[in-house]
Amino acid sequence: MMQVFGFPNTRATRVLWALEEIGADYEYVPVDLHKGEGRRPPYVDLNPAGKVPTLLEDGFALSESAAICTFLGDRFPQSGLTPTHGSRERALYNKWCFFVIGELEQPLWTLAKHRFALPEKRRVPAIMETAAWEFGVVANVLNIGLGGREFILGEQFTAADILIAHTLGWALACNLSLGSPSLDRYAQRVLGRPALARARQRESMDQNQGRKTDG
């Protein structure tokens, strides 16, 4: 059975969300980042970056949330989470995944780092306003790309929507405006999917109960 190593309210949620959309069996293995478990063996042997998520399947370890969600969509094509290889839809799917990691995440991650993630002496409060402004610029690009459609590729929900909406959730948690009613509606629609609620429940349940062993 596939194992997902994660911690609640991190990018690991994206992977659990994809698995819940698919309806696949998986084991969730909590890695307590607050206790430094990510940076110590045995986890660091699995993922030298010491970060979550990691997917483990029969000795094959894969990190990077976008790569994992894409792998899962390809592994379970009936889910529709990834378009067919070589199609234009696939090219657009890739484009939006890379956009999330390279553009949309970055200002929000800068905000998070300088609000709480970095050691206090490394934080630069003055950077926040610039990061918020940068987010506004990329959110506008996203809104234009969405073009008022239901999902980023049109009618089909894909793993790109998981990555985008999860990241927009960070912005909402920071009380940042998404800049347009259509992007607000998109975020509410996608973040309201039952599979995300199940993923969050699974994270909190397994976190409280410790390591899950019965799948």
Which residues contribute to the site for ligand GSH (CB under 6 A)?
10-11, 33, 38, 50-53, 64-65
Tell me how far, at minimum, the Cβ of 163 lies from ligand GSH, in Å.
8
Minimum CB distance to ligand GSH smaller for 74 or for 150: 74
- SS3 state at 135: helix
Are 81 and 22 in contact by the 8 Å Cβ rule? The answer is: yes
Minimum CB distance to ligand GSH smaller for 10 or for 79: 10
Tell me how far, at minimum, the Cβ of 205 lies from ligand GSH, in Å.
19
Minimum CB distance to ligand GSH smaller for 33 or for 196: 33
Minimum CB distance to ligand GSH smaller for 50 or for 136: 50
Tell me how far, at minimum, the Cβ of 181 lies from ligand GSH, in Å.
29
Tell me how far, at minimum, the Cβ of 65 lies from ligand GSH, in Å.
4
Closest listed residue to residue 71, CA positions, set 13, 15, 31, 152? 15
Tell me how far, at minimum, the Cβ of 83 lies from ligand GSH, in Å.
21
Alpha-carbon gap, residue 89 to 130, rounded angstroms: 34
- Tokens standing for residue 26: 């998986």
Alpha-carbon gap, residue 126 to 120, rounded angstroms: 14
Residue nearest to ligand GSH (CB): 51
Minimum CB distance to ligand GSH smaller for 114 or for 185: 114
First to last CA, the chain: 8
Residue 160 Cα distances to 1, 68, 111, 152, 173, angstroms:
24, 12, 22, 7, 20
